[in-house]
A and B are shown apart, each in its own frame.
Chain A
Amino acid sequence: MSLRQQHGAEIDAILARYPQKKSAILALLYVAQDTYGRLTDESIREVATIIDVPPTHVFEVVGFYTLLYDENVGKVVLQVCDDVPCAFCGAEQLVSTLESKLGIQCDQTTPDGMFTLQRVKCLADCNRAPLLQANLDYYRNLDTTEKVDDLLTQLRERIAKNDRISISGRLAEI
């Protein structure tokens, strides 16, 4: 099924927000990557057709922005802020804990396809370091191993129930 067949109403609502269709590109790519788990070449071409631009333009945009994934990622993308000041407030410890709990290094995905781990730059929540985003929901003050364990358990339960799983944050918790 095409993107339009699956999400016609949402796509029309997105297009209606902008004076020019091309402006809808990021919002449509978010819909596409949530639908297919990542941005496949086919989905990128579909977005190009919807906004009426050459596919190369959309490929270029996908390569530019860090929240657009054209490679396989897990059901949940964990993004740890390792920037200043987090780097001096426990971020490195948080990265090591996650690497050992998940048995992977940064920029890798667990063999069961559940989690991808990444380092990212400032998430604008520096007073609650160390912190991460899981599918763009914030989890703050992760300064003990127990808190990391609880977080992973909670996320595994959500994945099992398919509860608000959106790598693009379209279903973020408000």
Chain B
Amino acid sequence: MPPITEHVVLRDNDVPNIADLDVYIKHEGYEALRIAVTEKTPADVINVVKEAGLRGRGGAGFPTGVKWGFLPKDVYPRYLCCNADESEPGTFNNHQIIDRNPHQLIEGVALAAYAIECQTAFIYIRGEFAAGALRLEKAIADATARGYLGKNAFGTGVNINIVVSRGAGAYICGEETALMESLEGKMGQPRLKPPFPAIAGLYSKPTIVNNVETLANVPRIVLKGAEWYRKNGTEKSPGTKVFSVSGHVRKPGNYEVQFGTTMRELIYDYAGGMREDRKVKIIVPGGASAAWLTEASIDVAMDYESLAAAGTMLGSGGVIILDETVSAVELAYKMDEFFKHESCGKCTPCREGTHYLVKTLHRLNHGGAQKNDIAKLHDIYNQMAGNCFCLLGESAVVPIRTALKLFPHEFEEALAKSSARHAIPLTLAH
């Protein structure tokens, strides 16, 4: 795919200091919101987002405009939660949007709030983004002082109140129902669905949860229209996507490209190729929850459909590229250590399954392995798959299953080596 001619989301690349309100305004900032609240109905805003084909960037890729249309008629108040709990390993595009283009996110939140007729929108931001939270609060205060937000947005009587709320260290709070539990002042454990958030979400009221990058797209769509937006991307995955590229590439960073750009282009044309010209060994295309690919799949197109066809997913857009110095057994251990650490403890398959995966993988990596350990790994993830309460546990299955499938010989080698060594005790935090 050809490079984009202008950024849609990471406009900080084209406009220096766009985080400053005056600079943002000079570059069409808050124009979309002004036009929406003064000239358009909420239904008009939903329609243009539908026509643009904007899909949720949090992982599921569900059409955003369609989601907004799910709210039951005449039930108020309604809530909007912007999910800024970005914690998926290898993913850091929301972080850059919040730090460098905060007003575009705020304007997107305001537009979504107007579209769904919500008066109080929350930005639930992970506790670690302490500076980001302060930056967003300042941006909201600045925009409110100009009369763009607050009780009487643009003098129209429309009320748009945006509240920034910090989490306190829990990956699971990025799961939409756990996010709402956390916002209600409880432990962040997921809820049973149904009821879905659109029917009974935050404070049991109709609620829409959207990701940061999703909402940051909205101001440009409303201002420039669906046709403009669809100039980038593919028919089914329209627009641009910000991929966070990390690991053993020369220039790790966030790259906004058209959907449909290939993995090869992302690695070699954008991220500068591999450090020390080493070979690509493992590609994690969409955060820790996405099945791994190898160099054989390097020409896969980066859109929802093509990655699904390749047996994996676009997920969060966190692309981790690892070279041949990395052991698949160690990578599987580190990834399942992450899921074990972040398991909320609510359901048994996830809480116990991740615990035993980590214990077994630790033995294989560090000594004291038992001869049935590989069979045991298959056994553990098979007991977890399809049985966990939420996607966290299901995601924990992915790294170990994919590692065993792609690199079985490495597990055999690790077993032989480890059986000959004494066990190192594993201290499991939390």
**Contacts from A to B (Cβ < 8 Å):** 17-20, 22-27, 29-30, 51, 53, 57, 60-61, 64-68, 83-85, 87-89, 107, 119-129, 133, 136-138, 168-170, 172-174
Contact = CB atoms under 8 A, between A and B. Distances in A.
Contacts of B90: 84-85, 122, 126
B424 interface: no
13 contacts: A22-B186, A51-B185, A64-B170, A66-B168, A67-B127, A67-B128, A84-B89, A121-B342, A123-B128, A125-B92, A126-B90, A127-B254, A169-B128
B213 interface: no
B244 A126 contact: yes
Given A85-B320, A126-B252, A168 B130 contact: yes
A169 B133 CA distance: 10
* Interface range, B side: 35 or more
Contacts of B207: none
B331 A84 contact: yes
B6 interface: no
What 9 A-B pairs are tightest by C-beta distance, nearest first? A169-B130, A66-B169, A22-B185, A65-B168, A126-B246, A172-B130, A127-B252, A67-B169, A136-B130
Contact of B94 (A27, A107, A120, A124): A124
- Report which residue of A22, A25, A68, A84 has the largest number of chain B beta carbons within 10 angstroms of its beta carbon: A84
B184 A124 contact: no
B230 interface: no
Contact of B168 (A67, A84, A119, A124): A67
A17 B288 contact: no
Contacts of A60: 187
Interface stretch (B39-47, B151-159, B294-302, B333-341): B333-341
Contact of B245 (A57, A88, A121, A127): A127
B184 A121 contact: no
A121 B185 contact: no
Interface string B154-179: 00000000010111111100000000
Nearest to A133: B128
Nearest to B185: A22
A88 B322 contact: yes
Given A136-B128, A137-B131, A125 B95 contact: yes
Given A23-B185, A136-B130, A172-B131, A85 B89 contact: yes
